[in-house]
């Protein structure tokens, strides 16, 4: 990871230029990636050591951790370092070389990983592939390829799975797909803490996160105050601009069709009775450049709206009122996606109870 530290300026600028992440956040992604790698290095000796299981007084079973072959990692553009490093470092620590197919939107990041390992003399450990998506399926028939890790959309994840089946391969497959993550603010939540964290969960990386909060359910006793504080926070915190500017904290949308999709979701919600409080429009920066979407706050959203059902992947905060825990849990679980969800409360016992009812959950106190 020393290579990434030494080349921080180059790597962060390339990320910002390719997919629009504000450069301050690109630098933080580098630091987080390095921390995550170092944690895996420390864990590896214990995790990979032989396990012995005593069967009886004279017999035991030994479990060996052995390499399985080539790993193919298919990685997305939104967190171009963090979505790679877990699978890449784990594969290498387990003795498996890596073929890395990075997004066509961030191909230079894939090359950075190859260059980093080459700088240590490890010439054939990581190879970055410049391939069109249609050509990836040809790799599934490679005999020594025994692991595929994919991070991206549900639709593409299904295609990867089906293509492996069509190649008549039974290999290890790990999929980390899209989400429509929700947050529930209970009546006893720390309001200021919930507002700041949930807004960040909606807006960070311009909402282009698999685990972004895209639905917010707030107990009726806190609803109005939560909406007002959120509007104030969003209005005063976010600055749209050139991602290479250190003061920018809301970058452009990476995909050409994203602004139109977001606009469709927002307009459908407004026409269906939701109230737009902030944003809601495709825009440019102060110099008239860029492909941006305004940080957007909408209240009184309903479950049947596109904005509450389909992955938006943009800087949208969509809020709905609930009257009790059961209603909140039912709404959180009413989705075709599954990734993460969050509950904000001060009651530890209640938090654990709710976590067991939610499909995927994190608890915040």
Give the tens place of pLDDT for each residue, 231-255: 999 999 999 999 999 999 999 999 9
Catalytic residue list contains 318: no
Q: Which of 90, 202, 210, 301 is catalytic?
A: 210
Under the banding of pLDDT at 50, 70 and 90, the label for residue 133 is confident
Task: Quote the pLDDT of residue 365.
Answer: 40
CA atoms within 13 A on the CB side of 128: 19
For residue 278, give the nearest of 224, 334, 317 by alpha carbon: 317
Domains and CATH numbers, the chain: 2-176 (3.40.605.10), 181-364 (3.40.309.10)
Q: Which of 8, 13, 176, 196 is catalytic?
A: 176
Q: Per 3-state DSSP, what percentage of the chain is helix, strand, and coil (rounded to 5)?
A: 45, 20, 35
Considering the chain, what is the average pLDDT of its residues? Answer: 93
Please state, as a whole number, how many other Cβ atoms lie within 10 Å of the Cβ of residue 62: 8
Under a CB-based contact definition with an 8 Å cutoff, are residues 110 and 75 in contact? yes
d(CA 235, CA 203): 12
Under the banding of pLDDT at 50, 70 and 90, the label for residue 168 is very high
For residue 213, give the nearest of 340, 28, 29 by alpha carbon: 340
Task: Quote the pLDDT of residue 360.
Answer: 61
What does the pLDDT average to over 159-163?
Answer: 94
Task: Quote the pLDDT of residue 131.
Answer: 87
Q: Is the pLDDT of residue 364 over 50?
A: no
Burial of 247 (0-12, 13-18, 19+ CB in 10 A): exposed
Catalytic residue list contains 176: yes
Give the tens place of pLDDT for each residue, 306-338: 999 999 999 999 999 999 999 999 999 998 887
* Structure tokens belonging to residue 20: 């629009």
């Amino acid at each position: 990871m020393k290579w990434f530290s030494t080349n921080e300026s180059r790597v962060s600028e390339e990320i910002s230029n390719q997919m629009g992440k504000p450069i301050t956040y690109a630098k933080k992604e580098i630091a987080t990636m390095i921390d995550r790698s170092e944690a895996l290095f420390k864990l590896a000796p214990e995790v990979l050591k032989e396990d012995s299981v005593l069967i009886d007084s004279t017999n035991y079973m030994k479990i060996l951790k052995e390499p399985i072959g080539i790993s193919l990692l298919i990685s997305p553009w939104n967190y171009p370092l963090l979505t790679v490093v877990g699978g890449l470092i784990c594969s290498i620590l387990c003795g498996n070389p890596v073929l890395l197919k990075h997004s066509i939107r961030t191909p230079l990041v894939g090359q950075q990983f190859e260059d980093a390992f080459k700088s240590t003399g490890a010439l054939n450990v990581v190879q970055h592939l410049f391939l069109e998506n249609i050509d990836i399926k040809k790799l599934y028939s490679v005999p020594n390829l025994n692991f595929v890790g994919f991070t991206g959309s549900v639709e593409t994840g299904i295609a990867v799975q089906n293509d492996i089946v069509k190649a008549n391969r039974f290999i290890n497959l790990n999929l980390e797909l899209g989400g429509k993550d929700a947050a529930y603010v209970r009546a006893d939540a720390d309001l200021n803490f919930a507002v700041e964290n949930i807004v960040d969960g909606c807006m960070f990386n311009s909402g282009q996160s698999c685990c972004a909060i895209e639905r917010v359910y707030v107990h009726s006793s806190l609803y109005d105050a939560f909406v007002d504080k959120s509007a104030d926070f969003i209005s005063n915190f976010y600055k749209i601009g050139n991602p290479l500017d250190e003061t920018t904290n809301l970058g452009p949308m990476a995909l050409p069709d994203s602004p139109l999709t977001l606009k469709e979701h927002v307009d459908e919600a407004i026409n269906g009775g939701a109230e737009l409080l902030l944003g809601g429009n495709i825009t440019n920066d102060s110099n008239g450049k860029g492909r941006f979407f305004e940080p957007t706050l909408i209240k009184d959203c309903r479950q049947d709206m596109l904005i509450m059902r389909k992955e938006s992947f943009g800087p949208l905060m969509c809020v709905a009122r609930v009257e009790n825990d059961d209603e909140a849990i039912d709404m959180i679980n009413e989705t075709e996606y599954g990734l993460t969800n969050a509950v904000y409360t001060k009651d530890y016992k209640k938090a654990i109870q709710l976590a067991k009812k939610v499909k995927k959950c994190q608890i915040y106190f």
